[in-house]
């Protein structure tokens, strides 16, 4: 059973940056796609972006394209979400997730979730 733990959330001013990390245990991350989701208060969870097992292909939501970047270090069983040019509307709980197969880039592909980390962007 894979377990995921996020870190790196916090409070940042608009225009600032944060990097979220997600460490996987009980599961070798290198064979599976990994991604990030977020959920703002009163809103449905939304897919932020994902990366296939090799790191050679990614997919991002339109709202974060050009500002957020996913990367992974399979040797450390860790993947990251680098967030730049943050906006107040990026405020949400961010969840890391691992897909059920190597090429998952759709929300329905993800079956393992972390507990979430709060990101708050002040204006």
pLDDT of residue 63: 97
pLDDT at position 68 is: 98
CA nearest neighbour of 122 among 43, 15, 19: 15
Residue 43, token pair as written in the block: 């809103």
Q: What is the pLDDT of residue 101?
A: 84
Mean pLDDT, residues 36-58: 95
Q: What is the pLDDT of residues 67-77, one digit of tens each?
A: 999 999 989 99
Q: What is residue 106's predicted lDDT score, i.e. its pLDDT?
A: 87
9 SS3 class: coil
Nearest by Cα to 63 from 42, 82, 46, 45: 46
Does the structure show a pLDDT above 90 at 1?
Answer: no
């Amino acid at each position: 059973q894979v377990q995921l733990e996020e870190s790196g959330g916090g409070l940042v001013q608009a225009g600032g940056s944060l990097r979220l990390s997600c460490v996987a245990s009980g599961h070798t991350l290198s064979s599976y796609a990994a991604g990030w989701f977020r959920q703002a208060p009163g809103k449905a969870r939304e897919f932020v972006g994902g990366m296939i097992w090799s790191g050679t292909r990614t997919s991002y939501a339109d709202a974060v394209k050009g500002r957020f970047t996913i990367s992974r270090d399979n040797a450390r069983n860790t993947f990251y979400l680098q967030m730049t040019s943050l906006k107040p509307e990026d405020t949400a709980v961010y969840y890391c997730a691992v897909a059920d197969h190597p090429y998952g880039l759709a929300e329905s592909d993800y079956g393992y979730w972390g507990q979430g980390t709060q990101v708050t962007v002040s204006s």
